[in-house]
A and B are shown apart, each in its own frame.
Chain A
Amino acid sequence: ETGVTQTPRHLVMGMTNKKSLKCEQHLGHNAMYWYKQSAKKPLELMFVYSLEERVENNSVPSRFSPECPNSSHLFLHLHTLQPEDSALYLCASSQDGLGTSNEKLFFGSGTQLSVL
C-alpha cells in the first residue's frame, strides 16, 4: 500500500447527480493532488493543495470543486458532470513541492468514474 487511500473505487453517476470523491493520506505529507486519467491521454493535473491552500488550478471546469479541510484529507465534489468526464481520478501526495525538492508522488488506487 502507498499510504494514500481513495474512496469509492468505482462510481457511476447520472449527469444531474452530485457526488464526492475522497482521498486520505497517512504519510504526513504537506501537498495533495488530483489528477485525471482518460484513455489514450496523458495524466492531467487538476488541482494541488499545499498546507491546505490551493496552489494550482489547471483551468478545470467549475463542475469539479476541490476541498482540503486538513493536510490529510482531500475531496473532489462533482456536480452536473458530462459523459466526457468519465475517467480514472487519481489522488496523490508529496512531502513538499516536487521540482527543486526532488520529491516524488505517492498515488492512491483511483476512483473509476462513469458518467451516464
Chain B
Amino acid sequence: SQQGEEDPQALSIQEGENATMNCSYKTSINNLQWYRQNSGRGLVHLILIRSNEREKHSGRLRVTLDTSKKSSSLLITASRAADTASYFCATDDSGGSNYKLTFGKGTLLTVNP
C-alpha cells in the first residue's frame, strides 16, 4: 500500500452520526496531517499531530496516532451536511525531504441531511 493510505475509500452517514476514517503509512514520520477538500477545490488543513503525540482534539475533530502500527484515525463527531468532502491524511518522511508531504487517495465522506 502507499504511504498515507486512507480507509474506507467512501463513507456515507446520516447527519448527527460520527464518522471515522483511518490512515496507514510506511515510513518514520515527524508528523501526520489531515486535510479536507470540497469537490473541485483546494485542500484545507484540519489538524496536525506530532509523532510524540497520541491524541489531539480540535472542535468536533479527534485525531489519534499509533506510531507502532503506523496508523492514524480521524473522528468527526456529530456530523453535519457541510462536512461532506474528501478527507486526506498526509505524512512527511523523517528520513527524507523536508518539503515533501505524501498524500493518500482520500476518503469521500457524504453526510446525508
Contacts and interface: CB of A to CB of B under 8 A. Distances in A.
Interface in B24-49: 29-31, 33, 35, 40-45, 48
B99 A42 contact: no
Contacts of A48: 99-100
Interface in A64-116: 88, 90, 92, 94, 97-102, 104-110, 112
Contacts of A55: 97, 99
Interface size class of B (residues with CB under 8 A): 20 to 34
Contacts of A100: 30, 94, 98
B2 A90 contact: no
A90 B103 CA distance: 13
Interface size class of A (residues with CB under 8 A): 20 to 34
A6 to B, nearest CB: 8
A98 B99 contact: yes
Given A98-B98, A99-B30, 8 more contacts: A33-B99, A55-B97, A97-B98, A98-B92, A99-B96, A104-B45, A105-B101, A112-B40
Interface of A: 2, 4, 6, 31, 33, 40-43, 45, 48, 50, 55-56, 88, 90, 92, 94, 97-102, 104-110, 112
